């Protein structure tokens, strides 16, 4: 979209989860001009909006940055695929749509452990609620009038019933709502859907904002660097349709490119670890050694079981079934195509000594076998992701070169600590115990992964190292804080540079114990009030049930 005006009050880099929220909130009073710059295309592809199309979407190279990690030393030197959304809506347009806020104590620890008193859960909950319309209805924990629609899992399948019952009988617990009164146990999950379609951040926030005359969106535009004069960010230089274009920000430049792109752009702009920046021939603008450091993610593996009854969705890829599911979705917005498949899950403790949940489950009535990098087959099986939800391993994002078109390098150091290795082994054992419950007796066939031969801790860990992947939650690379390794303050202003903020998953100081899309949208909503000098919403001390440690 062309625009002859080269100056805006606010320039937002990235039309992902945070950028879409910011565009909506910063423009709603009509007083400020807002430019949003997105490296990818519009979200016009049909499969983006079909929930069950998620596996096609996140493998689509036209809407994906297609990142890959460096060889990971503690998981057999394997390189991990790291898809991130390069499309309007960002990763909220290609993710599995699970809406999870994490555990309330996640945020309380941000406040206490990182000297961030504005970020305890009582001050975050009002923004979660204000941003959401839950089909569960508004209550003490959930919102009913926000722009983002969230929907409790609706796919009927006896395996989901068996899963929930197993939470009770295994002692791992059961919850009616993991974002509600009891944020622990197993449950039917929420997803970001509206009328059976994906409700991405673009659908919820950006498209309404673009109806206003004070919001401009550039797609297929790569930001090459932030322009800085003295100690102030003044604008950005972009490449758009083969031309370099400069935009000036009257008030602020806001980086919302995510935990990979944002630190890359900061370093390209001379902000970050000075020796690393100079090593690529870039002049140092601000010495901030924490840029790109503290990289965190949720490592995951999958346990998989053959199913003795044909209740799984193994026939979903048959052309006739695909056609029938597609027609039902187009006419009614219901059925299998309206499901994101991972409709149940849990937050549980790996051991009795764990003070809070440290393992996350995602459960689905489906078993995947990857035929190639881009094709899968479905088995008569059911599966469960086992995530290390409180990892202690940390990695780093760093520059490959001074060329903005070169992908940055990244190493997550998955399972590099004894704590994470113990957690993944304990999590697999907890998952096995859940599936061993009587409610699964009628369905549980052979264990296909890890397999019944893997019984010792050493064997289970070897399986984890061989099969480990990511749950696609990179974060924490420009963290909030007041110490020397922090990149931004608690209002997300970059230390030492005026007129520059970072608002995305990179500012998280320690990863939450669940999916990140909901926290990132909450963070962005709070950031908008900080940016405009508005009062934050009043704290909300809701009641919660926590299991005794």
pLDDT tens-digit series, residues 74-114: 999 999 999 999 999 999 999 999 999 999 999 999 999 99
| 391: CB partners within 8 A, 6+ apart | 296, 297, 298, 299, 417, 420, 423, 511
Q: Residue 4's pLDDT band (boundaries 50, 70, 90)?
A: very low
Q: Residue 3's pLDDT band (boundaries 50, 70, 90)?
A: very low
Whether the per-residue pLDDT at 1 is higher than 50: the answer is no
Q: Are 211 and 131 in contact (CB under 8 A)?
A: no
Phi first, then psi: give them for residue 238, nearest 5 degrees. -125, 160
Q: Give the residue from 443, 447, 434 showing the smallest Cα distance to 163.
A: 434
Beta-sheet pairing, 7-13 with 34-37? parallel
Cα distances (angstroms) measured from residue 115 to each of 27, 111, 128, 179: 31, 6, 22, 25
Whether the per-residue pLDDT at 548 is higher than 90: the answer is no
Whether the per-residue pLDDT at 549 is higher than 60: the answer is no
Over the stretch 167-177, which tens digit does the pLDDT of each residue have?
Answer: 999 999 999 99
Q: How far is CA 471 from the centre of its chain?
A: 8
Give me 47's structure tokens. Answer: 């499969």
Cα distances (angstroms) measured from residue 519 to each of 47, 83, 132, 508: 25, 19, 12, 9
Give me 218's structure tokens. Answer: 């550039």
Burial of 419 (0-12, 13-18, 19+ CB in 10 A): middle
Please state whether the peptide bond connecting residue 450 to the residue before it is cis, i.e. omega within 30 degrees of 0: yes
Q: Is 105 helix (H, G, I), strand (E, B) or coil?
A: helix
Q: Are 378 and 401 in contact (CB under 8 A)?
A: no
Active-site residues, by number, are 473
- Cα 27 from Cα 24, distance rounded (Å): 6
| 321: CB partners within 8 A, 6+ apart | 315
Q: Are 232 and 497 in contact (CB under 8 A)?
A: yes
Whether the per-residue pLDDT at 234 is higher than 50: the answer is yes
Q: Which value, in Å, is the radius of gyration of the alpha carbons in the chain? A: 22
Phi first, then psi: give them for residue 37, nearest 5 degrees. -115, 125
């Amino acid at each position: 979209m062309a625009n002859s005006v080269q100056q805006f009050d606010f320039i937002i880099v990235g039309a992902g989860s945070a950028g879409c929220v910011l565009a909506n909130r910063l423009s709603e009073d009509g007083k400020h001009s807002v430019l949003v710059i997105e490296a990818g295309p519009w979200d016009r592809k049909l499969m983006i909006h079909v929930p069950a199309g998620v596996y096609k979407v996140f493998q689509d190279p036209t809407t994906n940055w297609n990142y890959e990690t460096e060889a990971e030393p503690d998981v057999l030197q394997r390189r991990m695929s790291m898809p991130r959304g390069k499309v309007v809506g960002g990763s909220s347009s290609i993710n599995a749509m699970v809406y999870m806020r994490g555990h309330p104590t996640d945020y309380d620890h941000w406040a206490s452990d990182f000297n961030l008193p504005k970020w305890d859960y009582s001050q975050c909950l009002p923004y979660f609620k204000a941003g959401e319309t839950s089909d569960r209805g508004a209550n003490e924990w959930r919102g009913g009038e926000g722009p983002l629609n969230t929907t409790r899992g609706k796919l009927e399948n006896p395996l989901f019933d068996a899963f929930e019952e197993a939470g009770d009988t295994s002692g791992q617990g059961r919850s009616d709502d993991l974002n509600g009164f009891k944020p622990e146990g197993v449950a039917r999950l929420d997803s970001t859907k509206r009328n059976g379609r994906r409700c991405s951040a673009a659908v919820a926030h950006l498209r309404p904002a673009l109806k206003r005359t004070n919001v401009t969106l550039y797609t297929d535009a790569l930001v090459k660097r932030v322009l800085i004069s003295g100690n102030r960010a003044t604008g950005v230089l972009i490449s758009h349709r083969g031309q370099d274009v400069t935009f000036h920000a009257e008030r602020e430049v806001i980086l919302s490119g995510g935990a990979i792109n944002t630190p890359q752009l900061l370093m390209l702009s001379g902000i970050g670890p000075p020796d690393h920046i100079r090593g690529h021939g870039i002049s140092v603008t601000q010495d901030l050694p924490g840029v790109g450091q503290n990289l965190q993610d949720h490592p995951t593996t999958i346990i998989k079981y053959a199913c003795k009854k044909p209740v799984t969705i193994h026939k979903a890829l048959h052309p006739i079934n695909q056609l029938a599911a597609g027609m039902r979705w187009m006419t009614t917005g219901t059925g299998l195509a309206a499901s994101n498949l991972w409709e149940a899950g849990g937050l549980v403790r790996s051991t009795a000594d764990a003070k809070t949940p440290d393992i996350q489950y995602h459960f689905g009535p489906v078993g995947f076998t990857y035929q190639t990098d881009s094709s899968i087959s479905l088995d008569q099986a059911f599966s469960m992701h086992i995530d290390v939800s409180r990892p202690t391993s940390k990695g780093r994002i760093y520059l490959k070169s001074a060329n903005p078109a070169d992908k940055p390098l990244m190493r997550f150091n998955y399972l590099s600590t004894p704590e994470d290795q113990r957690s993944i082994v304990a999590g697999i054992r907890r998952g096995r115990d859940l599936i061993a419950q009587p409610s699964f007796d009628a369905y549980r066939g052979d264990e296909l992964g890890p397999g019944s031969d893997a019984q010792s801790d050493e064997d289970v860990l070897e399986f984890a190292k061989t099969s480990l992947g990511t749950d696609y939650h990179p974060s924490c690379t420009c963290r909030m804080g007041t110490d020397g390794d922090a990149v931004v303050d608690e209002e997300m202003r970059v230390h030492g540079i005026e007129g520059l903020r970072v608002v995305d998953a990179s500012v998280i100081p320690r990863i939450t114990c669940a999916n990140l899309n909901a926290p990132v949208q909450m963070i962005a909503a709070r950031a908008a009030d900080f940016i405009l000098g508005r009062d934050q919403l009043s704290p909300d001390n809701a009641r919660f049930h926590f299991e005794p440690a």
